[in-house]
Amino acid sequence: MCKSVRYCVSHCLYAVMTRLEEANREVSMHSSVRYLGYLARINLLVAICMGLYVRWENNADALILVIFILALFVLGIASILYYYFSMETASLSLSNLWFGFLLGLLCFLDNNVFKKDVKEEATQYLLLSSIIIRILHALVQRICGCIHHRPTLLTMVEFLELVGFAIASTTMLVQKSMSIILLVVALAMLIIDLKSNGIFMSVFLIVLPLESMAHGLFHELGNCLGGTCVGYAVVIPTNFCSPDGQPTLLPPEHVQELNLRSTGMLNDVQRFFAYHMIETYGCDYSTSGLSFDTLHSKLKSFLEVRTPDGPRHDTYVLYYSGHTHGSGEWALAGGDALRLDTLLEWWREKNGSFCSRLIIVLDCENSQPWVKEVRKVNDQYIAIQGAELAKVVDIDEADPPHLGDFTREWVEYNCNPDNDISWFEKGRTVKAMYGVSKRWSDYTLHLPTESDVAKHWMMYFPRITYPLIHLANWFCGLNLFWICKACFRCLKRLKMSWFLPTVLDTGQGFKLVRS
């Protein structure tokens, strides 16, 4: 009997001690796993603080300092809510939302200037180590059974971090911000679907953002590429004119200076063509002037140049520097002159129904009449960039302007992103002006026609898919929002006529400017 009682007592004591040891081991294991999660959060906090400090140090933006101080303030509030008021849910929700916002801020602020900074590299390593520790924490939790997941669409932590990340994207432009927000929504939907075990929809939601990103990439690439372009330059360095209107040669003592200035103009034009990948049709230089027939032949040949594939170029750039009459007409040899109406008539004859653009760059004394006259053109896409040389200049303050000065500054402005040229400063001896036709804002790049699409499809796709051509052409031919497009087109025309921009991007890589 005593042996039985002793056996029962010892057995009970052994079971209790074993259970206590297991409980202690489980508590220790749970504490270790929890500390691993704390380490990941502390690592992330240090990375965010260092990243914000690096951005404030290099940009000297007071807003970053305000956000950094506000982040510390929010962290303090979250700690008070957690430890003093036992409001664990509110504290964690606030901290997760703020962590997501700060992470998005680090992603969207430009760091190209200080990318090689040691502190920036340390920030990136800390962020990477935080991700690794967090992944390890999740794996250990699942392996040790420290957490039991319940079926849910989206956890509160994931939701709040995604919301904070989306809010941070509003620091960028509206178009980019909307893209980021939509991408975050797609990611949230993907997480939701993965926790509903929908494999097909999950794959679909993975492919959809990738397709959207590819579409956005090609869209941005299409905006950067301005289409095909060809250029032609005419330099006639005759600065004096006889009473009958015929240009005369400069005196012999000025010939060397003239040659140097004209060579500089040709080099600038060739640099401009090469920098913006403009096909060079030719650069004609003549000190004795060009006859009307010669210029007519050259310009007609230039205006009918086509791409190697057959279609016309999207943009034609014509440069002229030389003597002009008071009405803006180009002074030619033999007393002839080239009027803007004549040049536009040649352009209409060659352009026809094709929607190409003609951009005329004038470095001459009387370009203002053509700049004003082009604004009355209603049936073509024409732009004229002109120059205005100061008539009276104080020699003690500045040198008198010459032909070629505008070309040098305009080419430098369009070919050197780090230039310090300001067209709006007072006292400039060389000013810029430009004008565009009424339909200039309606211009769009030439798109493939139905026959072009059909020809391409028949060359590379099997015959059984030909009915898809008609379906695609029919769908693309629908113009469901024609009223909105018409109103938007009218608004753009009014803006160009009433509020002409000081700097107009041609979409070809260079800009038209006015002082």
% residues pLDDT > 90 (the chain): 15
Confidence of residue 467 (pLDDT cuts 50, 70, 90): confident
Please tell me the predicted confidence (pLDDT) of residue 347.
Answer: 92
Question: Measured between alpha carbons, how far is 267 from 276 in angstroms, rounded to an integer?
Answer: 14
Question: Measured between alpha carbons, how far is 352 from 303 in angstroms, rounded to an integer?
Answer: 11
% residues pLDDT > 70 (the chain): 72
Does 64 have pLDDT greater than 70? yes
Question: Measured between alpha carbons, how far is 300 from 282 in angstroms, rounded to an integer?
Answer: 13
Within 416-481, where are the H helices? 450-460, 467-477
Tokens 């030439």 found at: 446
Confidence of residue 16 (pLDDT cuts 50, 70, 90): very low
CA distances from 347 to 46, 269, 299, 302, 353 (A): 65, 22, 9, 10, 11
Confidence of residue 272 (pLDDT cuts 50, 70, 90): very high
Please tell me the predicted confidence (pLDDT) of residue 296.
Answer: 92
Please tell me the predicted confidence (pLDDT) of residue 84.
Answer: 82
Mean local confidence (pLDDT), 136-164: 75
Does 8 have pLDDT greater than 70? no
Please tell me the predicted confidence (pLDDT) of residue 436.
Answer: 92
Beta carbons within 8 Å of 165's beta carbon, 6+ residues apart: 100, 101, 103, 104, 107, 180, 184
Please tell me the predicted confidence (pLDDT) of residue 23.
Answer: 47
Retrieve residue 292's tokens: 């009307």
Query: Per DSSP, what are the bridge partners of residue 81?
Result: none
Query: Per DSSP, what are the bridge partners of residue 221?
Result: none
Does the reported pTM lie above 0.75? Answer: no
Mean local confidence (pLDDT), 180-198: 65
pLDDT in tens, 324-383: 888 889 888 888 889 999 999 999 998 877 788 999 999 988 889 999 999 998 888 999
Retrieve residue 83's tokens: 């430890």
130-144, 175-189, 487-501: least confidently modelled range: 175-189
Q: Taking a C-beta distance cutoff of 8 angstroms, is the pair 81, 90 a contact? A: yes
Nearest in space to 364 (alpha carbons), one of 247, 191, 227, 218: 247
Please tell me the predicted confidence (pLDDT) of residue 241.
Answer: 47
Sheet containing 357-363, strands listed edge to edge, beginning at the edge strand earlier in sequence:
279-285, 229-236, 315-322, 357-363, 381-389, 430-436
Mean local confidence (pLDDT), 243-265: 68
Please tell me the predicted confidence (pLDDT) of residue 230.
Answer: 92
pLDDT in tens, 92-108: 888 888 888 888 888 77
Confidence of residue 219 (pLDDT cuts 50, 70, 90): low
Confidence of residue 177 (pLDDT cuts 50, 70, 90): low
Its sign, for the CA torsion 174, 177, 183, 189, is negative
Please tell me the predicted confidence (pLDDT) of residue 340.
Answer: 92
More confident residue, 325 or 248: 325
Dihedral of the alpha carbons of 37, 42, 45, 50, in degrees to the nearest 10: -140
Does 395 have pLDDT greater than 70? no
Strand residues in 364-500 grouped as ranges (E): 381-389, 430-436
Q: Taking a C-beta distance cutoff of 8 angstroms, is the pair 70, 77 a contact? A: no
Mean local confidence (pLDDT), 392-401: 62
Does 443 have pLDDT greater than 60? yes
Nearest in space to 106 (alpha carbons), one of 89, 120, 92: 120
Mean pLDDT, the chain, rounded, equals 78
- If phi > 0 it is left, if psi is from -120 to 50 it is alpha, else beta; for residue 86 that is left
Please tell me the predicted confidence (pLDDT) of residue 20.
Answer: 42
More confident residue, 292 or 37: 292
Q: Taking a C-beta distance cutoff of 8 angstroms, is the pair 170, 178 a contact? A: no
Q: Taking a C-beta distance cutoff of 8 angstroms, is the pair 329, 338 a contact? A: yes
Does 258 have pLDDT greater than 90? no
Question: Measured between alpha carbons, how far is 17 from 23 in angstroms, rounded to an integer?
Answer: 10
Q: Which residues of 307-326 are buried (b: 16+ CB within 10 A; e: fewer)?
A: eeeeebbbbbbbbbbbbbbe
Query: Per DSSP, what are the bridge partners of residue 230?
Result: 279, 316
500 alpha carbon, distance to own chain's centre: 22
Rg (CA), the chain: 35
Q: Taking a C-beta distance cutoff of 8 angstroms, is the pair 359, 410 a contact? A: no
Please tell me the predicted confidence (pLDDT) of residue 228.
Answer: 87
Q: Other CB atoms closer than 10 Å to residue 433's CB: what's the count? A: 20
